[in-house]
């Protein structure tokens, strides 16, 4: 029998999630087993299964750590002090087809997709049998969240394991994408990769369906550890940005801000620091993971990566961040830190408890929406409008108080925006994908702090395409490798 990460793992996952009878989100104590073949036969059980899908999303092998840190570690915003070797292959732009991080992200991405797909299929079968209006509405909400979860995982995987869909206007939608799953994949089924374009169409369709179902349900959770219309709109804006659908990206970002009830951002160090106290403290966020003092990944957490496991802001990022920029309020270095071996204390994961391992990942946030609006406006030659949107974020630097303090020409403003995305979105996992889609030459793999030397200068990051993990390819189930992927990375 073939074994592959795309194949069904639901018997195990649903047992863990459906068996949870506690009243705390992501509680996974086992109280009983449910056969996955017959498990999703009522709304309550579908809710439990959805809980399991969120757990897979938030696990450290996916968005809880590895899928989120990937985009920053493999970029110019991060410095590796070499005290540990965690994911240094990514930092050095020397990935392997046996990389632990790549294997984990692929595996757990498909766990999210598999569980979400089973929920969607089961809900569609169950819906016609329901008579109770409250159950009908709740089921639609669960379906909406499952579509959003599937879209999120699909976007992570297609970005990570395929070519960027657009690079500064050039279309790569015909390149190999990922395996799309609309019905659960059986253990002996063969699969094949769709194109990048087909994958993005599927992502768009999932997000549109999620919004439709939320509208029909007329309800969504007030807890932002669950997908809401604001979060879906925010993810939709990101997708449109990558596709260079500028008008659609701007509108989705505007909708996200309105639905999320955010019209301005904090601009003082005290207020900014208060956003990162954990959980719902970040009222600029539309979706975050249920990671806290009780449920966290300890040594495998994002906060540990950004502290004792060697990673910190790069000297370049520090050089473009004003000393009194309020975003530095969460930057700190341990007493063991030296200029040669900087030891960061967690940054956005620092948390007031003093333990960065319990800091959560804020995945879809208001500042990104302002930046998307600004970039979309620039691409449509609306320079004044772009400056207005950009100002909302740039005011985190107290030297910038009005649009008069920003570059006045399109090229200058666009260059500023690219740096502003680095400043604002640091530790949120966007930088690698930004560098790829801009076709921007970057200096990468820094060594020798504090007088940093770049191992590779002006490397065109858009060229790199990461390998599908060998564990998947070797199953023979039909997933093909990215041809010539090794040649897309620089040689040491």
pLDDT (tens digit per residue) in 295-324: 999 999 999 999 999 999 999 999 999 999
Separation CA 64–CA 289 (nearest Å): 7
pLDDT of residue 6: 56
Ranking 24-28, 118-122, 278-282, 479-483 by mean pLDDT, the lowest is: 24-28
| Per-residue pLDDT reduced to its tens digit, 45-72 | 999 999 999 999 999 999 999 999 999 9
Separation CA 88–CA 254 (nearest Å): 38
**Could you tell me the two tokens for 446?**
């820094």
> Mind giving me the DSSP string for 241-255?
HHHT-HHHHHHHHHH
CA distances from 325 to 269, 285, 322, 395, 405 (A): 8, 20, 5, 9, 15
Separation CA 112–CA 110 (nearest Å): 5
pTM: 0.94
Q: Looking up tokens 């930088």, which residue turns up?
A: 431
pLDDT of residue 350: 85
Give yes or no for a contact between 433 and 156, defined as CB atoms under 8 angstroms apart. no
Separation CA 368–CA 242 (nearest Å): 13
Separation CA 292–CA 315 (nearest Å): 30
Residue 38 binned pLDDT confidence (cut-offs 50, 70, 90): low
- The dihedrals phi and psi of 220, each to the nearest 5 degrees, come to -160, 165
């Amino acid at each position: 029998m073939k074994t592959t990460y795309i194949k069904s793992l639901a018997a195990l996952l649903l047992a863990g999630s459906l068996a949870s009878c506690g009243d705390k989100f992501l509680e996974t104590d086992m109280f009983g087993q449910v056969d996955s073949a017959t498990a999703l036969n009522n709304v309550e059980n579908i809710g439990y299964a959805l809980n399991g899908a969120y757990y897979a999303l938030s696990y450290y092998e996916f968005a809880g750590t590895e899928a989120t840190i990937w985009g920053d570690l493999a970029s110019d915003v991060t410095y590796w002090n070499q005290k540990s070797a965690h994911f240094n292959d990514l930092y050095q732009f020397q990935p392997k087809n046996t990389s632990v991080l790549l294997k984990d992200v692929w595996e757990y991405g498909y766990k999210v997709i598999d569980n979400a797909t089973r929920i969607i299929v089961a809900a569609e079968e169950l819906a016609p049998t329901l008579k109770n209006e409250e159950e009908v509405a709740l089921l639609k909400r669960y379906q909406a969240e499952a579509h959003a979860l599937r879209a999120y995982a699909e976007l992570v995987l297609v970005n990570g394991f395929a070519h960027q869909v657009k690079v500064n206007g050039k279309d790569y939608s015909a390149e190999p994408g990922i395996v799309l799953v609309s019905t659960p994949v059986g253990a002996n089924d063969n699969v094949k990769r769709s194109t990048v374009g087909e994958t993005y169409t599927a992502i768009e369709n999932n997000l549109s369906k999620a919004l439709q179902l939320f509208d029909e349900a007329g309800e969504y959770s007030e807890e932002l550890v669950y997908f809401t219309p604001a979060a879906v709109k925010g993810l939709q804006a990101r997708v449109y940005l990558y596709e260079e659908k500028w008008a659609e990206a701007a509108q989705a970002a505007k909708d996200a801000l309105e639905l999320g009830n955010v019209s301005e951002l904090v601009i003082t160090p005290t207020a900014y620091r208060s956003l990162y106290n954990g959980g719902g403290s970040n009222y600029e966020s539309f979706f975050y993971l249920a990671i806290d003092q009780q449920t966290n990944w300890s040594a495998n957490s994002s906060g540990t990566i950004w502290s004792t496991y060697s990673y910190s802001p790069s000297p370049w990022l520090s050089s473009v961040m004003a000393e009194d920029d309020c975003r530095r309020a969460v930057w700190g270095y341990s007493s063991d830190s030296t200029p040669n071996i900087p030891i960061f204390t967690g940054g956005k994961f620092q948390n007031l408890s003093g333990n960065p391992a319990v800091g959560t990942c804020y995945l879809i946030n208001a500042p990104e929406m302002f930046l998307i609006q600004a970039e979309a406006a620039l691409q449509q030659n609306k320079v004044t409008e772009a400056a207005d949107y950009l100002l909302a974020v740039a005011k985190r630097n107290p030297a910038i108080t009005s649009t008069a303090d920003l570059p006045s020409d399109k090229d200058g403003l666009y260059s500023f925006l690219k740096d502003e995305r680095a400043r604002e979105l640091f530790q949120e996992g966007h930088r690698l994908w930004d560098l790829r889609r801009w076709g921007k030459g970057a200096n990468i793999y820094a060594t020798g702090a504090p007088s940093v030397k770049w191992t590779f200068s002006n490397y065109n990051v858009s060229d790199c395409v990461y390998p599908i993990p060998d564990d998947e390819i070797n199953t023979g189930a039909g997933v093909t490798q990215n041809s010539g992927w090794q040649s897309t990375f620089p040689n040491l």
